[in-house]
Amino acid sequence: MEKDLSKPEILVVANLWPPYMDALRATFVVHDRVHVNDAERIAAIAPQIRGIAANGESKVPAELIKQLAALEVISVFGVGYDGVDVGAAHARGIPVTNTPDVLTDDVADLGMALLLSIARRIPQADKFVRANSWVKGPLPLTRKVSGARLGLVGLGRIGQAIASRAEGFGMSVAYTTRHKKSESSYTYYPNAQALAREVDFLLVITPGGAGTRGLINADVLSALGPEGFLINVARGSVVDQSALVHAMQHNLIAGAALDVFEDEPNVPEALRLHENVVLTPHMASGTWETRRAMADLAFGNLQAHFSGLPLLTPVAK
């Protein structure tokens, strides 16, 4: 097929949602993940690549940015951009865009769903009924959510939305962030360990990357204690997964509900086989409605750039 030279060429660095790919293919010359295992092909097309389409899990390291001499813009299908070397991009004057706000409700909904699931043991109860175990006797009692104490590690767009939902359950809300939010009436703790000591549910919703790597470590889990539950909808890197496995195996915490993992899609057997966990496959923004809105925004950013218009949602310098 003849290449349409009027279309900008872009490199897709993730397994993107098919309807989004359709929109990209209609407007750009799309090179789909050729950088992953085809050094010769990427070297051949590198001088033409003007845009990158990534997602929240994508790696866009400085080396790739350096290789693409004509690169003008990086659009992330996701609010988190911890896999993109934003410093290296900005140093070359290349803007990075993401998809904030449009996914906030879904991620907050899944955060609460995971909290309810681990506390009330909904997946375990479902298994119990399906296995016909009910005929032998009742399911053991579970943990009440309404009125319990929630601790949020991160109180940004999504953290705030989770806090509002938790208030609807009559939960008390406390949080930790690097900077105390003067406008917030929730109780502030200066670090995750101090927060964990005071709550029943510790829910993590910070960005990933170097600044939060291993923030939830053995000390934090020990502070959460044998009655406490951990919920992570942020990034796998924020929780020290080995420390978590150790805490689960030694009943140092009551349970964990996780949407994100250190090495996705690989989840350690120790977590997969544990009775007191609820696991979901990085699906917090995965509804038709939200993925459509994310695709529109991620595409809109690329389109704005190549039309010489202001970007819709650039990541701040």
Q: Is 24 a residue that touches ligand 8YV (CB under 6 A)? A: no
Q: Decide whether 32 or 219 has the Cβ nearer to ligand 8YV.
A: 32
Of 25, 90, 282, 292, the residue at the interface with ligand 8YV (CB under 6 A) is 282
Q: Which residue is nearest to ligand NAP (CB)?
A: 156
What sign for the dihedral angle of Cα 291, 295, 296, 300?
Answer: positive
Which residue is it, tokens 């009440």? 144
> Does the protein bind ligand NAP through residue 205 (CB under 6 A)?
yes
Total residues in contact with ligand NAP, by rule CB under 6 A: 31
Tell me which of ligand 8YV, ligand NAP, none is bound by residue 205, counting a contact when its beta carbon lies within the kind-specific cut-off of 5 to 8 angstroms.
Answer: ligand NAP
Please identify which residue in the block is written with the tokens 């911890």.
Answer: 82
* Dihedral sign of CA atoms 148, 153, 157, 158 in order: negative
Asked if residues 234 and 264 have their Cβ atoms less than 8 Å apart, the reply is no
Q: How far is the CB of 181 from ligand NAP (least distance, A)?
A: 7
Prior bond to 268 cis, omega within 30?
A: no
* Smallest distance from ligand 8YV to CB 54, Å: 8
Q: Note the helical H segments in 179-240.
A: 192-197, 218-224
Q: Which residues are catalytic?
A: 235, 264, 282
Question: Closer to ligand NAP at the Cβ: 38 or 167?
Answer: 167
Instruction: Give least dist CB 262 to ligand NAP, A.
Output: 14
Distant-in-sequence, close-in-space partners of 41: CB < 8 Å, separation ≥ 6:
34
Please list the residues that pair with 255 across neighbouring strands.
229
Is residue 176 a contact residue for ligand NAP (CB under 6 A)?
Answer: yes
Report, in Å, the least distance between residue 111 CB and ligand 8YV: 13
Compare residues 200 and 259 and give the one whose CB is closer to ligand 8YV. 259
Under DSSP, the state recorded for 263 is B
Residue 57 within binding range of ligand 8YV, rule CB under 6 A: yes
Among 8, 51, 56, 255, which residue interacts with ligand 8YV (rule: CB under 6 A)? 56
> Per rule CB under 6 A, is residue 55 in the interface with ligand 8YV?
yes
C-beta closer to ligand NAP: residue 86 or 158: 158
Say whether residue 285 binds ligand 8YV (CB under 6 A).
yes
26 membership: H or E segment, kind and range? helix 18-27
C-alpha dihedral sign at 75, 81, 83, 86: positive
Fill in the per-residue mask, 67 to 86: x = in contact with ligand 8YV (CB under 6 A), - = not in contact.
Answer: ----------xxxx------
d(C-alpha 48, C-alpha 4), whole Å: 13
Separation of first and last alpha carbons in the chain: 40
Binding map of ligand NAP across residues 278-307, x = CB under 6 A, - = no contact: ----x-xx----------------------
Does position 111 bind ligand 8YV by CB under 6 A? Answer: no
CB 63, CB 85: distance < 8 Å: no
Let me know if 54 is exposed, middle or buried by CB neighbors in 10 A (0-12, 13-18, 19+). buried
Binding residues for ligand 8YV, rule: CB under 6 A, are 55-57, 77-80, 103, 282, 285
